[in-house]
């Protein structure tokens, strides 16, 4: 399992240029793969070669990996990712396509599928089901913190690591991934700086959201999903700790498979074979 079959490419939309990786059969089912927060398209480097019958395009979300950052003064509002996904699909010429999302990418995929049900053929969710929600009475606090963080943005220096190994070590401390999985993600998210390396990802990605959805809004999007849906979670994953998993899953009318596999939050990168088997079974392969 390697990236030998991958083709790096760029996708031009009307406002941003997105970096992407393509795998598989150009005549296969079109699948747009969306990674998690602060990850990148390399999140699918091990899974995609196991799904060679698909036409799979994994993108670097805006501000991540090699994709362009949003213009100065802008934040990374969750809802803007929905527009990005549809713009990318249009640029690819895909009228109907499947979505494969991990974590943040799974949340984005749910909102897209609930908003544009006529365009989504299949929905495959890895360790994610809808965006994070907050209680309605927290909106003022979230807005205050977001504005204050934006004021301070740019005053803090980004870390520069002496070498790739140091960056890998730093990333390993904040996740439960296997070290070789960390290496895969980090390699795509580094650039040279002052004799060392630093992250490519936009520092604004770490700023808090100005406005979160309330749970009723999230569940409304989930109820709008009509595509056959696969949900894969890890026994030691993150999603089950966030609560409301079963409640949200019950909102999706066409969940055909909901499976729990060994592994953590990045189970598709740490151990892709079981995940690929579930996807192939789901798609009838």
Name the nearest CA neighbour of 258 among 280, 221, 234, 233: 233
C-alpha dist (Å) from residue 202 to 53, 226, 232, 249: 34, 34, 29, 32
Q: Please count the CA atoms within 13 angstroms of the CA of 144 that sit on its side-chain side.
A: 5
* Per-residue b or e along 137-165, where b marks 16 or more CB atoms closer than 10 Å to that residue's CB: eeeeeeeeebeeebeeeeeeeeeebeeee
Cβ-based neighbour number of residue 102 at 10 Å: 30
66 near 7, Cβ under 8 Å? no
DSSP bridge partners of 101:
34, 125
Structure tokens at 248: 């949200």
Quick check: is 52 catalytic?
no
Q: Are 255 and 249 in contact (CB under 8 A)?
A: yes
- Total residue count of the chain as it appears in this document: 285
Bridge partners of 229, per DSSP, are 123, 255
Catalytic residue among 103, 181, 201, 209: 103
Please, are residues 188 and 42 in contact by the beta-carbon 8 Å criterion?
yes
Per-residue CA distances from 95 to 78, 98, 121, 147, 226 (Å): 23, 10, 10, 38, 16
Q: CB–CB of 35/105 below 8 Å?
A: yes
Catalytic residues: 103
């Amino acid at each position: 399992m390697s990236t030998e079959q991958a083709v790096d490419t760029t996708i031009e939309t009307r406002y941003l240029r997105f970096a992407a990786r393509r795998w598989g059969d150009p005549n296969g089912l079109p699948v747009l793969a969306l990674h998690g927060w602060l990850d990148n398209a390399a999140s699918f480097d091990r899974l995609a070669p196991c799904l060679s019958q698909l036409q799979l395009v994994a993108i670097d979300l805006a501000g991540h990996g090699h994709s362009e950052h949003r213009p100065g003064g802008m934040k990374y509002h969750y809802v803007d990712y929905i527009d990005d996904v549809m713009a990318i699909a249009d640029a690819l010429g895909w009228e109907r396509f499947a979505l494969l999302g991990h974590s943040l990418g799974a949340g984005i995929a749910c909102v897209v599928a609930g908003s544009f049900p006529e365009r989504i053929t299949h929905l495959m969710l890895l360790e994610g089901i809808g965006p994070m929600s907050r209680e309605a009475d927290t909106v003022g606090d979230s807005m205050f913190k977001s504005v204050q963080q934006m004021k301070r943005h740019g005053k803090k220096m980004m870390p520069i690591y002496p070498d790739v190994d140091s960056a890998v070590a730093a990333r390993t401390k904040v996740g439960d991934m296997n070290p070789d999985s960390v290496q895969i993600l980090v390699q795509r998210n580094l650039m040279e700086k002052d004799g060392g390396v630093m992250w490519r990802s936009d520092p604004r990605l770490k700023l808090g959201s100005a406005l979160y959805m309330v749970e009723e809004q999230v569940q409304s999007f989930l109820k709008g999903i009509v595509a056959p849906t696969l949900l894969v979670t890890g026994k030691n994953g993150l999603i089950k700790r966030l609560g409301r998993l079963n409640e949200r899953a019950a909102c999706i009318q066409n969940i055909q498979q909901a499976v729990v596999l060994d592994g953590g939050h990045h189970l598709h990168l740490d151990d892709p074979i079981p995940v690929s088997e579930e996807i192939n079974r789901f798609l009838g392969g």
